[in-house]
Structure 1
Amino acid sequence: MSSVHPYKKVFVETDNFGASYLDTLEHCYNQVKIDSVQFSMLNDLAYYWHTRNLNTAMAFTKKGLQLTSLNNELTWNGRFQITQGAILLRMEKLDSAKIVLELAKAKVEQSDLAFLNTQLGYVYERRGQLDKAADYALKALDLGEKLNNNKAMAMAYSDLSNLFWKQAKFETGLEYGLRSLKLFEDWGITDLDYGFTLYVTGNNYLALEDYEEARRYYEHSIIIGERYGFYNNLSDVYISLVDLYSYLGEFENAREAGRNAVKYAELLENNFMLMRSWLAIGKMQNKCGNYEEAIKGLKKSITTATEDFGDAYYLSDAHKELGRAYASNNDYKNAYNAFSEYDSLKNEVFTAEADHRISQLRTEFDVAQKEGTIVLQQAQIKKQQTLQQFITIITVLLLLLLLLAYKAISNNIKKNKLLQKKNSEKEFLLKEIHHRVKNNLEIVSSLLSLQAASIVDPNVLDAMEQCQHRVHSMGMIHQKLYLGEKLATVEMKDYFNNLSDYIIHSYGQNEQVIVDLEMDELELDVDIAIPIGLIVNELITNSLKYAFPANRKGNIHLALKEKGDLLILEVRDNGIGLLSENRADGTGFGTHLVNLLVKQLDGKMILVTDQGTSVYIKFLNTKAA
């Protein structure tokens, strides 16, 4: 296997991933020359072993990290760190996973970042920080859209579906799950993440009580998991099937699903899956009324979760179910403790529902320890008093909040009115400034006109008239600013119409030359509109002066169009062309000015002199702030 090798990237170039494929990769990767092919094979070994056994996966990951470090392969070292992070978080080492994933960011390529962000999202999801997990899912989605990567987008939608499910927003979760599956199907390869998305979509159907659809998606996910040996997906699905069969009252099927969930979690050596498997079994025993068995299973679930477990979502659920089991078994003291732990994990301090339930359990516990009707009545009276006090406190707090909200809204209304007044004043002042600038430019234009009247030299006279036109073109910009609704942008189509009419009228060629304006309405920042106006002024003036001698009739085509981030200015005429002898009569200042303005706009100018003169200028569109 020195030059020719049978390896194809798993779930990219092939989905031929049978039970023995990882063994084949392990046998062959050492025979390949140390290069990207060997690293890719080793990374596939590391990553896909995490679907079967986490410790084996970590061993291959460490080999990859060692090899890439020895060979100074920074990018591949970063990719192995992403794989390491994926394995560590499933080993409940969330802090370590976050550290290695952050280190990998600076090493890998942009195409790897979507997958990296997905793993970081899993870290925060396991910590119960669903808002941050959603942020990373959205980052992965954005990268997938930029790179047109269906797989990355599909994984992001899958993660969002799972997060919405955890937030009990099941209809939205279902929508994102179905969207993810459509992208996976367009991609054309059924892999680990496709199987997981089927499971997540099934969870949303289950929560919406569409049991048949949930069963259908779970069964499809199991087919993929068994085909490829994805133990983590299989454990996930069987955990949900325990819930599904329990809802349907099919308790024998639920017990079988629970045994399968535990089996695959143990094969994977994944305590997270094992904890959730026992949680599902405990829930099922509660529904069956087997409270002693439920307590055993739920205690085993909680014991399996280590101190670094991190996922308060499932851990709180386990304590809630344990509280129910104890309460149903008349063990009110332990029920009270379990519900207290549930409340602490869910961070729901003294909510009405939690307070009512805990008070009820406390009362039941007290009653269980004492005898007699008098004690029971006293406990009930105390409970009612506590509830009434709680309601009174909540009512006072709500009234206080309403009062504060009213004051805040009133203050905001006053502030908004003051801001509107100030904005109106500033807008008036800005319009007045533009008006005065326009008036001053008109004065300059008039002075130039008066000066020109006393000049005999035709070249100097022409230069003076050119200056007058330039000043007028700038004045028109400021006129549009103070007459228009927007103070920072100029609508260019109307401006070009007015400017071209003015120039043609100034040269007395209204009947001789027609300006053909071909463009849509387009607003530009004033800082870019002024130099463009000066350029158009010079180019139309040059056409009028040199393209149509001896009263020759003609057309000038003018256009300004957007193309992506670029603006393209086009000015062309059907005159005699730039190389005519008449062109030599000019001073050259106009051409020099155009070149300077194009350079100012950081643009590029193309001149074509075939059948007339055409000028094309491309430059970046600097949007107004």
Structure 2
Amino acid sequence: MPRFVTEIRYVCLFWMLISGLTKAQVPVHLHLNPVKIQKAAQLEKEAIAKHDSLILAEAYYLYGKAYVFVGDYRTAQSYYVKALRIQEPKGYSFELSRLYVRLSESENRLGRSTQALQYAYRSLKVAQHIRKDQAMALIRAYGALAQTYETIWSAQVPRKQSTFERTLLYYKKRELLCVKLRDTVGVAEVSLELGTLFSQVKDPRALSYLEKAQDLFTLKHKDGILVNTMVHLASAYLTFDKPEQAYQTLVKAESLYSSKKLTDYEIQLGLETQFVAYFEATRQWDKAFERLRKLNELERIRLLADRDGAITRLNMEYETEKKEALLSAQKKEIDLNAQNLRLQKYFSVVTFALFVIAAGMSVVFFRLYRKNQRISRRNEDLIKEQNHRVKNNLQVVSSLLSLQSKRLVDPTAKKAVEESRLRVQSMAILHQRLYDGERLAEVDLNDFIQELVRGVLKAYGSSAVTVHFAIDEIMLSANKAVPLGLILNELITNACKYAFPDNETPELWVICHRKGKKIELTVSDNGPGMDSPGWTDTRLDGFGFTSSKAIKTSSFGMQLIQAQVEQVNGTYQFSTHLRGTTSGVVFTMEFSV
């Protein structure tokens, strides 16, 4: 096309745009096909009445197709997306593959090739995984991929041969399937697509493909796509420098479009574009200008359709979202109320159950408590009776030993019986302290030791002895207290026998301290010490180490002390210390609590 012709065309276009914007004329829009809209609306009502989401998706699909025919691709795309939201969760199907194809075509028309390619490949993936109508789905998917790659190839600068070959590959796959299925309309469609592609590279095969497509569409009475095929055929005639044939084809196409009252935006746009190209090629400038004005009006219709469609789409989305939000809020409220009722019911049941359990447990515990009280009182009475009898028995034994001692003449025998009586009395005191106090089977060492010491001193007529006590507050169990009482009894008895006679100021020290987990007992006097007749020159302590002097380990009292120390797993030793000018004997014992 000569350069000045192109410049005139752009000047005319610019003038028409300016005049269109400045004149207060009412644009002529392509009207929606009422039959198609009515069919979609009826299907939508049926879906709502039946609560069938698949029928609703089909209704949205038909709405989208109706808007595509008038060039409102954005509104069409919004309906396709709404249908997609229903179809995708249902899984692979022919309808889903078909929907991906429509979305790919719309994205192509809107100039978004990347998105168009994604939808086309999704369509192919779905088609490969379904069984029902798989061949038809594959034909559509191959067509979408070929058209998208053709769009990408057309926009490349320079155009890449690899993209062209991929486009041709998918068209050929589509053609083979159509021939295999003996799909005349499918063969016609792919012939139209291949003819258009070859026309762009000025391949002579373009004319044969397009003429074949024209014959097949005429045979099948597909008027809309027949007009579109004739437009592409006219473009090919112009490409191969056959203007007369191009003009005749265009006139026939326009006549068929008018007689059939078609309302396809793309077809009308193609007609006007090819008429402009023909009149420019034949230098008929006035007719070219007239057709260019119509073309400009169609372009303006697209702009207005985009604007009106955007407004319509926004209103539609707003109303839809408002309804969905209302329904969602109502559903949430209903769910929340139902959940609250369930929780209240559950809480009531649980509360009642807990109340029944608590009442039952209260009755059980009350009965057990009463039973335990009765058992406790009975046990307490039995223990008191037992303790009373034991104490009485010990008192009887002590009295018997006392009577026996008075009847004996031999001093040694009398002394042995008296010592036995004191041991029994020591055990009686311990028993009284263990079982008459508040804490059963435990004794307070401070009270127990003081009473025991004073009892032994009184029995030996040594009440004038000054006793010094330093005893911590310690509670000791019966199995430890009994051996300790016997040891103290022997120590005080020995002191009364060897330390206090001929002593003008007799004194006794009893010290008991806790050291961690151990107890240390110290008993000492101010007697003559180990030089008295009761001690030998050598001795062994409880663990065998020696000192300068030792007690007579052969006596019964010392054997008793050693046995009782071993019973509590303790250690002991005797030593001599000086208190003023008088020596004394010190007994030290240590055992674990």
| TM-score > 0.5 by shorter chain | no
**Bigger radius of gyration, 1 or 2?**
2
Higher normalized contact order (CA 8 Å, seq sep 6+, divided by chain length): 2
Question: TM-score normalised to the size of structure 2?
Answer: 0.40
TM-score (norm: length of structure 1): 0.38
